Structure 1
Amino acid sequence: MPIPTVLFVCVHNAGRSQMAAGYLRSIAGEKVRVLSGGSEPGSALNPVAVAAMAEEGIDISAEVPSILETEQVRESDVVITMGCGDACPIFPGKRYEDWELEDPAGKDIATVRRIRDDVRGRVEELVRSLALPA
């Protein structure tokens, strides 16, 4: 059974999608392929998001915001959008979810922790719903 590919998409690919990707890599390891992209990628990761994830023992500091590529959507089994509107192309046969999450850009650490914890819960639920190899 092939491993599933999950794509996380948000506007800047600098906070929410990077936190979600970090959690999924941490929880599922090699049992899932993780991609992320942004409709309008930022120039750098949100440093408060990086700090909040470091508190969880997950280092996302080496990640770089990148543009969402149509090919990423085409090769993904699950596409999770986070406030990017109609920027994500739709392909038949894909599982799409839109997670309504507050944008952590410009927020203080307490707010980003709350967003991070929401992201973690959603990723944990996502992992339970995937048919991951043993």
Structure 2
Amino acid sequence: MGRKAMQHNGFGVCEGEQIGVTLDRDQWTTILQTVSAVTAYRWLYDDGLKPANVIDLLLSRAELPRSLAASIEETVTTLTALAKSLGTQGEADRMARNRQARVARTRTSDVIASGLHQHLQALVAENAMLHDAIGRQFKFG
């Protein structure tokens, strides 16, 4: 267990990191592979595979089309286009813009400190509220 790792799964491992966290490393790598973000990760972060960087990429980096930030940005863009087309804005537009601003201000360190699971649960709950607001705004049943 106490040996230093030099490289794992194609990502440089940070100096001083211990072997024995293979399961965690493999899980973070699998997440990146699942969303086809391994190459993007390597381009943006040159200091090896770090959970904080994976979280940053998948939550905050709008240039990654599969990130939450990109999805939130697309929601705002779509609702803005609908508002222009219909000539009205409403609750869903405000909720989406507020969420976009809040996510832009959120730091990865804050997500980690408060708990990634809890942060994601809050985003899922917020998505459900936005879903309901869109239904009301556009009178979907």
Q: Which of the two has higher C-alpha Rg?
A: 2
Tell me which protein shows more helix as a share of its residues: 2
TM-score past 0.5 threshold: no
The alignment's TM-score, normalised by the length of structure 2, stands at 0.30
Higher relative contact order, structure no. (Cα contacts within 8 Å, ≥ 6 residues apart): 1
Judging by fraction of residues, say which structure has more strand: 1
